[in-house]
Amino acid sequence: MIIELAILFLILALVAYILGARGIAGFSMNIAKWLVIIFIIIAIVAFLL
């Protein structure tokens, strides 16, 4: 679930960047980055347990 949201925000950031909305693109990329970090942490915890 989290990785799908990260991919969605990454695509949104790329489309916004292409259309010239760099503020929205940066914000979306920041959200995607944090979602990927959360996904990695959850995956590591699940692997260890």
The ranges assigned to domains in the chain are: 2-48
Which of 16, 20, 44 is CA-nearest to residue 31? Answer: 16
Which residue in this structure is represented by tokens 């590591």?
44
Q: Is the Cβ–Cβ distance between 10 and 40 less than 8 Å?
A: no
Over residues 2-40, the pLDDT tens digits come to 889 899 999 999 999 999 988 999 999 999 999 999 999
Using a cut of 0.85, tell me whether the model's pTM lies above it: no
